Structure 1
């Protein structure tokens, strides 16, 4: 069993080493961090969406902005769109689960806001529909996906397609990438 554990850890390290060697993704982290900082400075907000483990990651990253990351500071306007279970279950029941995020983006999103969608496959229908509405509203779309980017690739202004097809390794990297962005935004917005 210890060899299996070491193999799992090694797989996680290898995905992160691939990201570390990807200069385009490194530059994209800097670009997206500046973009989100500017959005906050302009009075805009960041919305997150995901399903299952990716919903947990979306909520986690939203809390890093609205709570705190490293420093005691004011809250930044960020929210995970799935946290209102009454809304989520009503819309899923009355309309379709495919539109639970799109309806909220339509109601809450404004030009210049940022929508971050997390989907390891990049093919989550409800996130794709939300990205379509975000585009109509002139919001910035940022996708966190696995290797191919799936259908979200074409709808993402910025795409972090983690070089893996293994869901746990992808999700581990999404949190790492999200934490990097949170740190950089906090430093840029509030001063290092």
Structure 2
């Protein structure tokens, strides 16, 4: 492979990162616990809230859509809201309180004890994400973080922290979304078992 072939190089680096991820027992166990926390919340009639900036905002919306719509199987809809989509709320809060409060303020208004907040930050240092986690903790939400290998300090605010084994932002984002898809599959299967038993 030529060192000038950026596409092939990126794919090779991604493959290596996915191999590390699939062999990371701590990450896999954390992902299972995250799925279980989401299942418990949704079974109890609570909801999943998601936040992120940039590409992580897109991931938050993607994951919410898998829960409300469907991942792979026909089943009832479940409550998930990406707090990245309401432009009026985002711009009003950003204007009136500062951008670092755009998610925290929404968590304050929409979050309830028993909900889950999934906060995505590849760096683990985004003020808007950290403030959302602080607010969620204060309101009794289960706090879940997705970050990269340099973002582990974010774990102080998270009940569960999934750490992608990479320092490269695009690869971290790929690992986050792929792992989230696995979590969605586990959540969907568990909730479908519940609906067939009731």
Normalising by the smaller structure, the TM-score range is over 0.9
Matches within 5 A, 1:25-174: 25-174=27-176
5+ residue gaps, structure 1, are none
Distance 1:71 1:26 in 2: 23
1:102, CA displacement in angstroms? Answer: 0.5
Following superposition, the deviation at residue 14 of structure 1 comes to 1.0
Structure 2: 5+ residue runs without aligned partners? none
Contact 1:15 1:164 in 2 (8 A): yes
Report the secondary structure of 2:143's partner residue. Answer: strand
Contact 1:44 1:112 in 2 (8 A): yes
CA drift of 1:4 comes to 2.6
Q: Deviations over 1:121-143 (max 9, x none)?
A: 01110110010011111111111
Cα-to-partner distance string for 1:40-65 (whole Å, 9 max, x where unaligned): 00111000000011000100000000
Q: Secondary structure at the match of 2:57?
A: helix
> For 1:15-56, what per-residue CA distance to the aligned partner results, in whole angstroms no more than 9, with x for missing partners?
111111111111111111111111100111000000011000
SS in 1 for 2:122: coil
Give the alignment's TM-score, normalised by structure 2.
0.93
TM-superposed CA distance for 1:3, in Å, is 3.4
- Structure 1: 4+ residue segments shifted above 4 A: none
Residue 152 of structure 1 and its aligned partner are, at CA, apart by: 1.6
**Alpha-carbon distance, 1:86 to partner:** 0.6
Q: Distance in 2 between matches of 1:114 and 1:54?
A: 17
Determine the C-alpha separation between the residues in 2 that align with 1:117 and 1:105. Answer: 11
